[in-house]
C-alpha cells in the first residue's frame, strides 16, 4: 500500500474501533427501552443526519475538509461521553443528535478528500481500491472491537466498554491531521468568482452540487443507486437484538455480530477487483446477498449469522463500487455536496426502515422483521443495470 492509502485506512479504521458499537442497542434495552423506543432513537439519528447532510457537504466544498473531519471527531467523542454520564432516554437522544451531526460532517467530506487527493496524483482509477481497503479496515476494526467488547463487558460492564470507546475516538481525532490536504478539484471561489464572501461561496457550491444532480441523468441515477444500497445496510443496528432473541447471552452477542463484520471485511477489500463489474452482475449480487440475509435471520445461530455476513459483505461491496462509479461520473466542481446528497437520500430511506421496525416489532419477531426488510433490496437489484454508470 502507498503512504496515502495507509493514512486513509488508519484514520477510517480507528474511527470504527469502538467497542460500544457492538453493545449500544443492548445498553439502551438494559436501561428500560423497548424495540419501539430504540427505533425512535435511530429515527432521530437519521433525521438529524439527513437534515444536516447536504449543508455540511457544501461546507466541505467551501472550507477545510480536514477541519470538518476534526469537528466530526469531537462530536463523536461527546456522543459516547454523554451516554455514559446520562444513561436515560433523553441522554441517549441528545447523544444521537450529536452523532448525527458528526456523521453528516464526515459523509461526503472524507470521500471527496480522498478522491481529490488521488486526482492530484493522477490516480483516480485507484479510488475504489483505496476506499475498499479503508472500508475493509473499518470492518476489521469493528470485528475486533466487537470481540473486545465481550471481554471488556465481562470485566467492567458497560462503563468500561464505554470509556475505552471514548479514548479511541480521541486518538482517532488526532489522526485527522495526518490526512492529506490536496486542493479541491474546483475551488469554491472559482465557481462564483474571486473576492466573494464565504456565504456567497457556500451558496454557489450548494447550487453547483444540487444543480449537477438535477441536470445530469447519469449522476442522478448513480446517486439513487448508491443511496439505495447504503440504506440497505441500515438494519445492522438490530443484529444485536436479533442475536438476543435467540436466547444468546449478552457476553456472546458480540461474537455473533462479529461474523457479519467478517463478511463486510472481505466484501470491502474486494472492491478494487470488482470495480469493473457490469450492471447485470451487480444486480445478481444484490439479489443473492439479500436472500442470504433473509435466510440467515430466519435460521439464527452461528450458521444464520454466517449467512448474514456473506450477504452483508456482498451488499457492502456493491455499495462501494456504486459510490466509486458516482465519483468518476460527476464533474468534481462540488464533489462533497453531491456525495452528501447520497448520504441524505440514504438517511431518508433509513428512517423508513427504522420506522418499519418500530411498528413491526409490535406484531413480528426480530427475525421476521429482518427477513421482510431485505425484500425491497431484490427490487433494487432488478433495476441496478439501468442505474449503474458505465466504468
74 pLDDT tier (thresholds 50, 70, 90):
very high
Rounded CA-CA distance 194/192 in Å is 7
User: Is 130 a residue whose pLDDT tops 70?
Assistant: yes
194 pLDDT tier (thresholds 50, 70, 90):
low
Count of Cβ atoms closer than 10 Å to residue 318 Cβ: 28
User: Is 4 a residue whose pLDDT tops 80?
Assistant: yes
Domains and CATH numbers, the chain: 3-387 (1.20.1250.20)
Contact between 9 and 137 (Cβ < 8 Å): yes
Count of Cβ atoms closer than 10 Å to residue 73 Cβ: 23
191 pLDDT tier (thresholds 50, 70, 90):
very low
C-alpha cell at 313: 459483505
C-alpha cell at 132: 475498499
Q: Which residues are CB-contacts of 199 (< 8 A; sequence separation ≥ 6)?
A: none
Percentage of the chain surpassing pLDDT 70?
89
User: Is 134 a residue whose pLDDT tops 80?
Assistant: yes
User: Is 186 a residue whose pLDDT tops 80?
Assistant: no
Mean pLDDT of the chain: 83
Q: Is residue 385 exposed (0-12), middle (13-18) or buried (19+ Cβ within 10 Å)?
A: middle
User: Is 149 a residue whose pLDDT tops 80?
Assistant: yes
Q: Which residues are CB-contacts of 23 (< 8 A; sequence separation ≥ 6)?
A: 149, 153, 158, 161, 240, 250, 253, 254
Tell me the DSSP string of 33-68: --HHHHHHHHHHHHHHHHHHHHHHHHHHTTS-HHHH
| Closest by CA position to 8, among listed 66, 63, 61, 53 | 66
Lowest mean pLDDT among 15-29, 284-298, 309-323, 348-362: 348-362
N-terminal to C-terminal alpha carbon distance within the chain: 23
User: Which residue matches cell numbers 493522477?
Assistant: 122
193 pLDDT tier (thresholds 50, 70, 90):
low
Contact between 77 and 86 (Cβ < 8 Å): no
Contact between 312 and 289 (Cβ < 8 Å): yes
Count of Cβ atoms closer than 10 Å to residue 154 Cβ: 11
Which of the residue ranges 49-53, 146-150, 320-324, 372-376 has the most confident prediction, judged by mean pLDDT?
320-324
Enter the DSSP assignment of 76.
Answer: H
At residue 189, the pLDDT reads 43
Rounded CA-CA distance 336/77 in Å is 23
Percentage of the chain surpassing pLDDT 90?
22
- Model pLDDT for residues 213-230, shown as the tens digit of each residue: 777 888 888 888 888 888
Contact between 241 and 366 (Cβ < 8 Å): yes
Number of H helices, E strands in the chain: 18, 0
Rounded CA-CA distance 298/279 in Å is 29
- Model pLDDT for residues 88-110, shown as the tens digit of each residue: 999 999 999 999 899 888 877 88
Amino acid at each position: 500500500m502507498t503512504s496515502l492509502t495507509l493514512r486513509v485506512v488508519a484514520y477510517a479504521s480507528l474511527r470504527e474501533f469502538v467497542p460500544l458499537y457492538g453493545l449500544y442497542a443492548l445498553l439502551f434495552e438494559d436501561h428500560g427501552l423497548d424495540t419501539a423506543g430504540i427505533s425512535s432513537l435511530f429515527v432521530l439519528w437519521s433525521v438529524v443526519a439527513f437534515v444536516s447532510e447536504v449543508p455540511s457537504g457544501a461546507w466541505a466544498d467551501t472550507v477545510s475538509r480536514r477541519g470538518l473531519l476534526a469537528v466530526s471527531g469531537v462530536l463523536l467523542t461527546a456522543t459516547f461521553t454523554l451516554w455514559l454520564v446520562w444513561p436515560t432516554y433523553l441522554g441517549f437522544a441528545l447523544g444521537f443528535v450529536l452523532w448525527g451531526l458528526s456523521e453528516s460532517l464526515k459523509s461526503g467530506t472524507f470521500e471527496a478528500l480522498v478522491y481529490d487527493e488521488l486526482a492530484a496524483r493522477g490516480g483516480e482509477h485507484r479510488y475504489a481500491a483505496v476506499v475498499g481497503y479503508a472500508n475493509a479496515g473499518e470492518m476489521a476494526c469493528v470485528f475486533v472491537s466487537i470481540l473486545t467488547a465481550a471481554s471488556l463487558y465481562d470485566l467492567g460492564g458497560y462503563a468500561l466498554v464505554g470509556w475505552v470507546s471514548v479514548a479511541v475516538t480521541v486518538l482517532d481525532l488526532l489522526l485527522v491531521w495526518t490526512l492529506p490536504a490536496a486542493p479541491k478539484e474546483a475551488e469554491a471561489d472559482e465557481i462564483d468568482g474571486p473576492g466573494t464572501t464565504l456565504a456567497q461561496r457556500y451558496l454557489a457550491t450548494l447550487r453547483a452540487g444540487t444543480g449537477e444532480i438535477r441536470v445530469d441523468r447519469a449522476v442522478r441515477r448513480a446517486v439513487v443507486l448508491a443511496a439505495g444500497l447504503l440504506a440497505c445496510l441500515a438494519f445492522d443496528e438490530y443484529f444485536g437484538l436479533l442475536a438476543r432473541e435467540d436466547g444468546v447471552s449478552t457476553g456472546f452477542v458480540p461474537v455473533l455480530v462479529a461474523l457479519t463484520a467478517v463478511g463486510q471485511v472481505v466484501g470491502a477489500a474486494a472492491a478494487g477487483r470488482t470495480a469493473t463489474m457490469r450492471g447485470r452482475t451487480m444486480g445478481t449480487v444484490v439479489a443473492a446477498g439479500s436472500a442470504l440475509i433473509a435466510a440467515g435471520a430466519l435460521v439464527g445461530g452461528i450458521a444464520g449469522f454466517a449467512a448474514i455476513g456473506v450477504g452483508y459483505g456482498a451488499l457492502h461491496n456493491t455499495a462501494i463500487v456504486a459510490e466509486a462509479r458516482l465519483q468518476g461520473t460527476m464533474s468534481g466542481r462540488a464533489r462533497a455536496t453531491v456525495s452528501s446528497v447520497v448520504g441524505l437520500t440514504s438517511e431518508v430511506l433509513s428512517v423508513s426502515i427504522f420506522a418499519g421496525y418500530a411498528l413491526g416489532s409490535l406484531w413480528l419477531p426480530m427475525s421476521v422483521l429482518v427477513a421482510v426488510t431485505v425484500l425491497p433490496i431484490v427490487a433494487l437489484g432488478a433495476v441496478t443495470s439501468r442505474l449503474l454508470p458505465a466504468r
